[in-house]
A = this chain, B = another copy of it.
Amino acid sequence: MANQLKPPPPDIVIGRLPLYLRALDLLAQEHKEVTSSYELGERLGISSAQIRKDLSHFGDFGKQGTGYQIDFLIGQLQHILKLNRHWPVVVIGAGHVGLALVNYKGFQDNGFDIVGIFDRDPEKIGQEINGVKVMPDSELVTTIQEYKVKLAMIATPAAAAQQSADIIIEAGVRAILSYAPITLVVPPEVHVQYIDPVSKLQHMTYYLEE
């Protein structure tokens, strides 16, 4: 008999779930109780078929003729993405980018708790931003272990990013959001996402007329 293991949902599908969640949160704020793949699709600029197929990887969340119960679907997506808990996060690098991250309200609002920001420059140690004290790199490993931190944001110069990544992975970090414009080399069990506004601007200049 053939092996009937379902393939895991594609990563590209996982990446869209946060968008669905955002749109659903907005609908809930508008006191709507039910929505459809058509309404969601229109709000997100995505086809309704794609939304239905994406969700079908995880279960039958809708009702034919009716659509999706918004509260219920939010709960399901939060469960799938493991968002029904708080996640401690560390920020590496206390330059302009690192400080902006600590100041950004969106993390706290969505259950990502910044438990520390770290820098190798002694000048920066001790200052407090948004209730978080800048600590020396020497405390990085103990902090990660103490809070069982799995998530980190790297906001160091490019030259320091790989070294930082090596240290925090060794200490237990398993997912990195990097603002440094270099490709990090990490073991396969570690996930990395990049944010590079310059690359996104350069992508769009292609389409601009001179």
Contacts and interface: CB of A to CB of B under 8 A. Distances in A.
Interface of A: 14-15, 17-19, 21-23, 26, 43-45, 80-83, 85, 87, 89, 96-97, 99-101, 103-104, 106-107, 110, 112, 150-151, 153, 174-175, 177, 181-183, 185, 191, 193, 195-210
A150 B206 CA distance: 12
Total identical chains: 2
Contacts of A151: 201, 204-205, 208
A23 to B, nearest CB: 8
B96 A181 contact: no
Kindly name the residue among A23, A97, A101, A201 whose own CB sees the greatest number of chain B CB atoms within 10 A.
A201
Given A43-B183, A44-B183, A183-B45, A110 B205 contact: no
Given A99-B100, A110-B198, A175-B205, 11 more contacts: A15-B199, A17-B203, A19-B183, A22-B181, A44-B183, A81-B203, A82-B205, A96-B104, A150-B208, A177-B204, A193-B203
